[in-house]
Amino acid sequence: MMKQEQFLSVVDRDEAERRFRAALAPLAPVGVEEVMLGATLGRVLAEDVASPVDVPGFDRSNMDGFAVRAEDTFGASEQEPRRLRCLAEAVQMGDLPRGVVEPGCAMAIPTGGVVPRGADAVVMVEHTRLEGGDVLVEKPVAPGRAITWAGTDIAQGEVVLRAFEVLTSRETGVLAAMGRDRVRVFLRPRVAILSTGDEIVPPGAPLGAGKIYDSNQVILADAVREAGGEPVPCGITRDDPAAVRAALLDALAAADMVLLSGGTSKGPGDLNVRVLEETLEAPGILAHGVALKPGKPLCLAASDRKAVVVLPGFPTSAIFTFHEFVAPVIRALAGRAEPGAGGGSGASPATSPARGARERGWSRARLPVAMISEGGRTEYVLVRLTEDDAGRAVAYPIGKGSGSVTAWSQADGYFVIPRGVERLEAGDEVDILPVAGASPRRVDLVVIGSHCMGLDVLLGRLSRRGITSKLIAVGSEGGLAAVRRGECDAAGVHLYDAVTGSYNAPFMGPGLVLARGYGRLQGVVYRAGDARFEGREAAEAVREAAQTPSVMMINRNRGSGTRALYDELLGDARPAGYAVEASSHHAIGAAVAQGRADFGIAIELVARERGLGFLPLREERFDMVIAEARAGRPGVRALLEELGSEEVRRALRARGLRA
C-alpha cells in the first residue's frame, strides 16, 4: 500500500490570512498604463482627471423654441400674448449665431443650439404661435429658463473623476464629454491558472472512465476577471513532478500571481505542494491546511512576494477559498477597493467576508431546518433564499458538498458557522453574505419540494413567458412543510398514503390547494440482462434481492416520495446500500448504469434514457400544492395556466409522463 502524506499543519483561517498578507505586503497596484478611451470600460483610474474644457462649452438651449429677453414675456397669456419681432436669422446647430436679440425681438433656436447674445431665456415652441413676421408668446419665462450656461455641468479645471474609480459607461461618457481620448489606468494583474491531475480533460474532449472535465480553470479565469485581473490560462499538466515544476516556473515568469488547482489533499497522487517546496523562493509555503469547510486542503505560499496558491480540486472548495483569500489580493493589485470598504484604494487590507456582515448591510435570514457543523473549523454554507408570507428571508442550505459544480452557481448567498459552533437550530437567524459580490434576485415564482423533469418542462415554458422562477429541491415532505410555513408559492409532491391508497390529497390541510399535475410510472431499475431481476415481478424481486448479501441497492433521500415506496417494499430489511441516498431519479439511474448499485427505484423515463431494465411498480401522481394565500400572484396564476394547457400536456406525454 502506498503511504499517504498528511497535511503539514492545519491553522486557523485568520492566522492563515495573516501569514499570507504579511508575506505579500505591501499590497499595491502592479503598474500603470495609458489606454485609449474605447478600452477603458471596467478599468481602474490611476490618476485624478480634471476637465480641460467647460462642459457645455457654450450657453446651450434645452428645447426647441425662441431665444428671448425674459422681461419681454412678462404678463403673457393665451388671451393676451406678448408680440415679439421674429428675427430673420435662426440659430443653426454647430454654428455661433451672428445676430443679437434686442429688446422686443426673438430668434428661433433648436435644442442644443448656441444661445445668441442678448437672450437670457428660451420659450418653448408649444407656447408660441407665428403671426406674419411676429412671434406671439403665450406664457412668460423667467431669466435662465431652458438654458444650460457654459461650464454649468463641468467647469474647466474641475476634478471630475478620481484615481481608484472603476470606469463604467457613466464615467467613460464623462471622459468623452471632456474630450479625453485616452487615460491612465492601473495594469490588470496577470494571474496564471494551472490545472493538474491525470484525471482532468478539457471541455469538448472525450470523457473516459474516471475522468472529469476541467471546470475549475474556466470558473477561476472568470472569477479573476470579476476581481479585476487578467487570467493567463496555462492548460492541464499531468501528475508528474518534473512537468508540474516546469509549468510552475513558466507561470511564475509570466504572471503576477499563480493559481494551481488540486494536488493539496493527502493522497498518493497529490504532488503540487511538494513541487512548491522544492521550487519556490523564500518565504515559500505559509500555510498548508486551513480550518475551513469547505476548503481545508488550501495551500498558501509566496515566492519573493509573488502569491502562489494551490486551491482544492473540488469546485465549491476552490471557488470559496478563491473568494476568501485570493480575490482580495487581486483587487489590491488591480487598485480596486474591497466591497463595503467605504472607498479608497484596494491596496488597503481586506476585511474577511466572515466578519462584519451586519456592518456591510447584508441581510439576515431564518433557517428552516437544524444544522450540524463539524467543530474546530469555520464552515461556509451556501444557501437558496426565499421569503415567508411576512416578507422575512428564509435560507435553505444547499447540501451538495464541495465537489458540486452547480452549488456555487445556484446559490443566492452563504452564511458562516464559526469554528466553535456545532449546531444551529431551526428558526435560528444567520447573516447572509453575497456570492462573489452579487445580490440575490427576486423571482416571480418559488417552488420548493420534489424535483421532476416534468417540472422542468413547466418552468421552462414559464421562462419563455418572462416568468422567472426558483426551484429548491428538498423532497416532497420538505416541500409540503415549506408551503405550510408560507415559504414558497408552490410545492411539487408525490406523497403516497397507504391507508387510502392514493397520492397527495390526504396530506392537504387548511390554506392549501391541490393542483392536478401528471402521472409517472415508478419501478425497479436494473442493468438489462441481470437474471436476478429480468422478467420478475418487481416487489418479489426486491424482497429476494434484499436477502441476498451480494446485491447492492441505492436508496433515495429521506423525505422524498420514492423513499416511502422503498420502505414499503423492504419492510424491516436493510440490504447493502440502504444508507446510500441519491437525491434524484437520474442519480439512481447513474448508480445502476455505472455498476455502483444493482437496483434502485426510479421513473420509467430514466430507465429508457439509460438503457436499463425496468420492472413497473405503480403509477404515482406528481401534483402541485399551492398556498391559498398566494394563489392570486402572477407567477402562481401562470403556473396554473400552464398546468391546464393542452400544449403542456402534449409536451409531458412526449417525455414519457402520463398527462
Task: Please indicate, yes or no, whether residues 472 and 374 belong to a single structural domain of this protein.
Answer: no
Amino acid at site 408: W
Provide the angle, in degrees to the nearest 10, between the axes of the packed helices 453-464 and 646-654: 140
- Host domain of residue 603: 443-659
Give the CATH number of the domain where residue 383 resides. 2.40.340.10
Q: State pLDDT tens for residues 394-453.
A: 999 987 655 566 677 788 889 999 988 999 999 999 999 888 656 667 899 999 999 888
Q: What is the sign, positive or negative, of the torsion defined by CA atoms of 201, 204, 207, 212? A: positive
550 assigned to some structural domain: yes
Residue 76: pLDDT over 70: yes
Task: Please indicate, yes or no, whether residues 44 and 107 belong to a single structural domain of this protein.
Answer: no
269 assigned to some structural domain: yes
Task: Please indicate, yes or no, whether residues 309 and 164 belong to a single structural domain of this protein.
Answer: no
Dihedrals phi, psi of 216, to nearest 5 degrees: -60, -40
Query: Which of 167, 186, 205 is the last residue in one of the domains?
Result: 186
Q: Which residues pair with 521 in a beta bridge?
A: 619
Task: Please indicate, yes or no, whether residues 270 and 254 belong to a single structural domain of this protein.
Answer: yes
Average pLDDT on 577-595 reads 91
Neighbours of 346 (CB within 10 A): 26
Task: Please indicate, yes or no, whether residues 181 and 192 belong to a single structural domain of this protein.
Answer: no
Q: Are 494 and 621 in contact (CB under 8 A)?
A: yes
4 assigned to some structural domain: no
Q: State pLDDT tens for residues 523-564.
A: 999 999 999 999 999 999 999 999 999 999 999 988 777 888
What is the number of domains present in the chain? 5
Task: Please indicate, yes or no, whether residues 125 and 138 belong to a single structural domain of this protein.
Answer: yes
Cα–Cα dist 357/372, whole Å: 22
Task: Please indicate, yes or no, whether residues 47 and 114 belong to a single structural domain of this protein.
Answer: no
Give the CATH number of the domain where residue 586 resides. 3.40.190.290
Instruction: Report the mean per-residue pLDDT for the chain.
Output: 89
Residue 197 banded pLDDT, cuts 50, 70, 90:
confident
Q: State pLDDT tens for residues 81-139.
A: 999 999 999 999 999 999 999 999 999 999 999 999 999 999 999 999 999 999 999 99
**Highest mean pLDDT of the ranges 186-190, 233-237, 287-291, 357-361:** 186-190
Cα–Cα dist 83/136, whole Å: 5
pLDDT at 452: 87
pLDDT at 439: 61
User: In whole angstroms, what separates CA 69 from the centre of its chain?
Assistant: 57
Would strands 82-86 and 105-109 be described as parallel, antiparallel, or unpaired? parallel
Cα–Cα dist 651/362, whole Å: 42
340 assigned to some structural domain: no
pLDDT at 365: 94
How far from 571 is each of 246, 568, 576, 582, 618, CA to CA, in Å?
59, 6, 14, 19, 17
What share of the chain has pLDDT > 70, as a percent?
92
Residue 348: pLDDT over 70: no
343 assigned to some structural domain: no
407 assigned to some structural domain: yes
Give the CATH number of the domain where residue 299 resides. 3.40.980.10
Cα–Cα dist 365/447, whole Å: 18
538 assigned to some structural domain: yes
7 assigned to some structural domain: no
Query: For the chain, what is the radius of gyration of the CA atoms?
Result: 34
Task: Please indicate, yes or no, whether residues 482 and 611 belong to a single structural domain of this protein.
Answer: yes
| Residue 349 vs residue 414, higher pLDDT | 414
Task: Please indicate, yes or no, whether residues 212 and 262 belong to a single structural domain of this protein.
Answer: yes
Query: Which of 378, 412, 436 is the last residue in one of the domains?
Result: 436
Task: Please indicate, yes or no, whether residues 526 and 600 belong to a single structural domain of this protein.
Answer: yes
Average pLDDT on 450-475 reads 92
Task: Please indicate, yes or no, whether residues 583 and 637 belong to a single structural domain of this protein.
Answer: yes
Q: Which helix (H) or strand (E) holds 439?
A: none
Query: Which of 405, 436, 467 is the last residue in one of the domains?
Result: 436
Average pLDDT on 560-575 reads 87
Give the CATH number of the domain where residue 103 resides. 2.170.190.11
* C-alpha cell at position 599: 437496483
Which of 178, 163, 159 is closest to 45 using CA atoms?
Answer: 163
Contacts 24+ apart (CB under 8 A), 235-238: 235/194, 235/195, 235/202, 236/195, 236/196, 236/197, 236/200, 236/201, 236/202, 237/194, 237/195, 237/196, 238/196, 238/197, 238/198
Task: Please indicate, yes or no, whether residues 132 and 204 belong to a single structural domain of this protein.
Answer: no
Q: What is the sign, positive or negative, of the torsion defined by CA atoms of 81, 85, 89, 94? A: negative
